[in-house]
Each structure stands twice: as C-alpha cells, then as structure tokens.
C-alpha cells in the first residue's frame, strides 16, 4: 500500500523524493548494529501530535510510550509509569525458567518464574533499557531501536534488539514492533504467551470493556469485564474475544482501545483496590492493564514483527474503527501459509521443528512416545463457511515403504459457553478458587471432536484433505485446530494448513 501511495505522490509532488529518501534512510538506519547508546540530549521525550492525539515516547527508558492523550477527552495523559514494567511497551517470554545470566546473575525471587523476559523500558531494579538509535521519519512517524533489559534480573541487557515504528493516526497510532534475537543459547524452548504489547493506564481509565460472544462484527452488545465496586481487576483476568480488541475507559466511557489482529485471547484488569478506580496519575501504583496475547516460540535467532492499533475515544468510536481495520486485516476462513513464519503454531509431545528461519515449510521431526503434534493459535471461524480442511505436506515415517498410508488426526475445539465469560489468570485464595469452580460449572467448556486425514507416509508431497460435513459435531462456531501425528517416529514438512469452501 505504501508503494502505490508513493507512486501517486511522485507524479504530483517532486518534494516527496526527499521524504521517500528519509523513509528508506530510516530503514537502513534501524538495520544498523551499532551498540553505542543514542545521545538524546537534555530532553528524552519525543512527540507526535495532530489536532486530537498526542503520542510521546521516552528515550531514557527504551523509547516506550509514556504519554498518550486525547483532546476530545480533556487532553490528560492516560499512560502509567510508576515503574519500568508499566508504560506501553514490548515484552517477550522464553526459557529457561528461571533465567540465570552468563555470569551467574540470579533473577529476583518475585519474578523468578518469568524466565527469559526482555522488556522495552527497563528491569525490576530500575536499570533502564538503552536506546541505540532514533529517527523522526515524517511528521506522523518515528522509529526507535533499543537494547532491552531482562525484567527479572538486575542490570542485565538481553541478547536482543527491539525496533519500534510509531505512526500517528487521526484517532490513535499504529505500533510496528520487531524483535531480533541473537542469543548464545540455541535451545528451542517451549512456547510461551507473549504480550503484544503490554499496556498500562492511569487510574481514571479503569473500566475494561470488550466483546465476548460468537457473533463478531455484528454490533452485538459488549461486556464490561471490570467496573467500579465489583471487586474485580486483580488477579488479571483473561478472556476470548473474536473481535480482537479491548478498551480501558473512564467513568464517561472515554479512553484507549487496542486491536491486535493475531490475538483473540486477551488478559487485563486493574491493579489496586476499588476505591482507587477512577483516580491517580502516572506515578501512582494503581493502574489499568491490557495485553493482547499470542502463544509463540522465540528462537535464539528469531526476527519477527507484529502490528497493533491503538485507538482513542468512546467505546463505540473504538469499535467502529476496529470494524474498518478488521475488514482489511482478518480473513473469515483460516489459511496458514508457512513460507517464512510459524503464524503462532506450536508443538506438543516429541515434536520439534528445525528452527528459524522458516524456509517455505515447517520442518518437523517427532517420535512415538510421547506422541507428537502441532497446535494452532486460537482464532475464530464458522464451520458452515469452511467445510473442507486441506494440508499441504510431505510425511516420512521411519520404515515406511512406497505408497504406505497413515492418518493425521485433526482435533477441533468449538466455541463454548466458557468463552462468554472471563476467567482469572491464576487463583490466589480459596474464595477465588471457589468462584472459578462455580463459573466452570455454570459456563462449561464443550468437548472437542476429531477427524481423520488420510496421508501418504513415504515422503511424497501432496495436498491432503477431509470433508468435515461428514462429522455432525462440525457445526457452528469453531475456535482452534490441532494436528496429531502418528505414533511412530518420523518427519513432516508442512507447507500450509487451510480451510476452504466447497468447490
């Protein structure tokens, strides 16, 4: 889209040649590997502004967002910065757990179970992350390159680089977030939930709102997940939202929303007692929180970018903008092409892939015990719109002869009553355990079902499919897919997994 816009502008405005040069210079600038910190002078804040929105990042703490205000809602800063774990910032997780540094650096006991956790602002000991480069690309765009600190440890930089491009919109901003790993530890650790990104608001923006249901993008009623005087907010709650957005708003229903196209699972809430909902500033401890989530493997040499949209305004304004973005960003039928990315597929049992970079296929090896498999990301589709499942793959089982056949097992999880409500991220006391059990009984998780996909076992590539209309349980709203491999050692290259309509 950028290139077509640039082409139209070049025909009209020769000056755009200069702007294009600035843009591409910034791209090469961000690609540099100079480890020296950026000299931001006496003032670390950098801003983007328009008639409605002011966005500010702080170069003294990794270029994280510390200011976001909406003139239509009084122009007050919505972003909390009481410690370096707040702000709007990048945060990632991987093994080992606990993470001990190369010179025996131990994590703080409080954060020991987080593992390897680089974040954009700084660590729990208030050692800030270092900005390596900054560039103002255009009036509405700026970029920052950061060496993140490991949050659980103290004064321990990560073997990673974060790159963020911030682009101002009329009603918010876009974040393009990239992680580039260069870890000496080359183990492929199990997948973990990633914050994409982490968002912390000041106390006035306490009310957590989203859509919970199985009729997305039809203007069905939203759910208030955390409100005043409800005792909710901490521990963080998590929930499934097929519209992939959530908002933190004030008592007038105005605030900040985030839309992350990869994240149907979101965690959030409010840290602080009920009496602090609605009050407080950037240095106060009470805070609202949202983090769109994706379960992801972080390879030692991984480079990966995601995009998140931040929208200010009322819940109706935020949702209306999300609906427009979703038409461009989302497909109603899942279609995963593994040309250079796992698309948040992960592995179970004995299955492992060959690691990053992904070169046209997921190259997976697996054993017989435990049985291997691959798990797809939580998403959303309607069975009637996607009756055919196709897998483009080549399977080689140890000892297989020419023309030998076997089956892959496709396991489906339907949308359940449990997806209509939130759940606590972790229980803290017996009363909360009881609440969780009562909710599970009233809003159960529906059982899944399986379908067999015939496939050659001798390494011949093909497109293997199953017509799911033969299974009476394949109906209505679906949430996730996993693929089980045969209980024999072997290898499988998976080029794509997709649903399609009938021919």
What's residue 35's pLDDT? 66
300 shares its domain with 358 = no
Q: 233 and 206 in contact (C-beta within 8 Å)?
A: yes
217 shares its domain with 316 = yes
Is residue 22 predicted with pLDDT exceeding 50?
no
Buried b (16+ CB within 10 A) or exposed e, 28-61: ebbeeeeeeebeeeeebebebeeebbbbbbbbbb
CATH number of the domain where residue 311 is located: 2.70.98
Q: Which of 262, 295, 329 is the last residue of a domain?
A: 329
Residue 198 CB coordination number (10 Å): 22
346 shares its domain with 388 = yes
- Under 8 Å CB-to-CB from 437, ≥6 apart: which residues? none
**How many Å separate Cα 186 from the centre of its chain?**
23
Is residue 58 predicted with pLDDT exceeding 60?
yes
221 shares its domain with 240 = yes
156 shares its domain with 257 = yes
Peptide bond before 235: cis, by omega within 30 degrees of 0? yes
129 shares its domain with 217 = yes
105-152 pLDDT, tens digit per residue, is: 999 999 999 999 999 999 999 999 999 999 999 999 999 999 999 999
Number of structural domains (the chain) is: 3
308 shares its domain with 376 = no
Is residue 13 predicted with pLDDT exceeding 50?
no
What's residue 333's pLDDT? 96
421 shares its domain with 306 = no
What's residue 310's pLDDT? 99
CATH number of the domain where residue 482 is located: 2.60.120
Mean pLDDT of 420-440: 89
260 shares its domain with 114 = yes
Give the position of tokens 């399986």.
450
Mean pLDDT of 42-46: 97
247 shares its domain with 115 = yes
The tokens for 439 are 């909710």
Domain limits for position 394: 335-500
309 shares its domain with 351 = no
Reported confidence tier of residue 503, pLDDT bands at 50, 70, 90: low
The values of phi and psi at residue 431, to 5°, are -65, -40
- Under 8 Å CB-to-CB from 396, ≥6 apart: which residues? 457, 458, 459, 490, 491, 492
The tokens for 203 are 């106390």
Q: Could you tell me if residue 411 is left (phi over 0), alpha (psi between -120 and 50 degrees) or otherwise beta?
A: beta
What's residue 178's pLDDT? 98
472-487 pLDDT, tens digit per residue, is: 999 999 999 999 999 9
Distance between CA 445 and CA 439 in Å, rounded? 11
Distance between CA 272 and CA 283 in Å, rounded? 14
Mean pLDDT of 467-471: 96
296 shares its domain with 366 = no
Helices (H) and strands (E) in the chain, counts: 4, 32
204-253 pLDDT, tens digit per residue, is: 999 999 999 999 999 999 999 999 999 999 999 999 999 999 999 999 99
Mean pLDDT of 30-35: 52
Q: Which of 329, 354, 384 is the last residue of a domain?
A: 329
Distance between CA 149 and CA 154 in Å, rounded? 8
358-410 pLDDT, tens digit per residue, is: 999 999 999 999 999 999 999 999 999 999 999 999 999 999 999 999 999 99
């Amino acid at each position: 889209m950028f290139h077509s816009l640039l082409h139209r502008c070049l025909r009209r405005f020769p000056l755009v040649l200069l702007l294009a040069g600035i843009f591409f210079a910034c791209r090469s600038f961000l690609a540099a590997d100079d480890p020296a910190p950026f000299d931001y002078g006496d003032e670390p804040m950098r801003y983007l502004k328009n008639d409605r929105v002011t966005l500010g990042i702080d170069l003294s703490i990794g270029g994280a967002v510390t200011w976001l205000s909406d003139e239509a809602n009084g122009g007050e800063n919505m972003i909390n910065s009481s410690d370096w774990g707040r702000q709007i910032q990048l945060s990632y997780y991987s093994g080992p757990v606990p993470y001990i540094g190369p010179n025996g650096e131990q994590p703080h006991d409080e954060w020991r179970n987080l593992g390897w956790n680089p974040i954009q602002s700084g660590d729990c000991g208030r050692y800030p992350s270092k900005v390596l480069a900054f560039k103002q690309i255009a009036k509405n765009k700026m970029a920052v390159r950061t060496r993140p600190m490991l949050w659980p440890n103290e004064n321990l930089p990560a073997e990673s680089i974060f790159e963020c491009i911030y682009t101002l919109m009329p009603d918010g901003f876009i974040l393009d977030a990239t992680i580039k790993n260069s870890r000496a530890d080359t183990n492929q650790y199990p997948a973990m939930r990633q914050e994409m990104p982490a968002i912390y608001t000041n106390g006035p923006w306490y009310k957590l709102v989203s859509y919970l249901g199985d009729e997305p993008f039809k203007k069905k009623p939203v759910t208030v997940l955390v409100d005043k005087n409800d005792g909710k907010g901490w521990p963080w709650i998590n929930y499934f939202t097929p519209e992939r957005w959530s908002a933190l708003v004030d008592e007038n229903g105005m605030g900040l929303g985030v839309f992350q196209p990869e994240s149907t699972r979101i965690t959030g809430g409010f840290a602080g007692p009920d009496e602090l909902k609605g009050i407080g500033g950037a240095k106060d401890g009470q805070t609202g929180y949202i983090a769109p989530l994706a379960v992801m493997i972080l390879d030692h040499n991984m480079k990966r970018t995601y995009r998140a949209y931040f929208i200010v305004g009322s819940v109706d304004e935020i949702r209306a903008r999300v609906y427009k973005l979703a038409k461009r960003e989302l497909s109603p039928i899942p279609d995963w092409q593994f040309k250079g990315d796992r698309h948040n597929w992960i592995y179970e049992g004995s299955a492992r892939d060959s690691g990053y970079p992904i070169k046209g296929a997921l190259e997976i090896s697996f054993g017989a015990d435990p049985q291997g498999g691959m798990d797809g990301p939580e998403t959303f589709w309607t069975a009637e719109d996607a009756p055919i499942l196709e897998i483009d793959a080549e399977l080689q089982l140890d000892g297989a002869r020419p023309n030998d056949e076997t089956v892959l097992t496709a396991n489906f999880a339907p949308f359940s009553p449990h997806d209509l409500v939130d759940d606590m991220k972790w229980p803290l006391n017996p009363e909360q355990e009881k609440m969780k059990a009562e909710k599970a009984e009233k809003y159960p998780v529906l059982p899944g079902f399986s379908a067999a996909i015939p496939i050659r076992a001798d390494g011949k590539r093909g497109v293997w499919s199953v017509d799911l209309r033969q299974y009476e349980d394949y109906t209505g709203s679906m949430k996730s897919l996993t693929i089980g491999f045969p209980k024999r050692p072997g290898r499988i290259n998976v080029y794509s997994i997709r649903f399609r309509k009938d021919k």
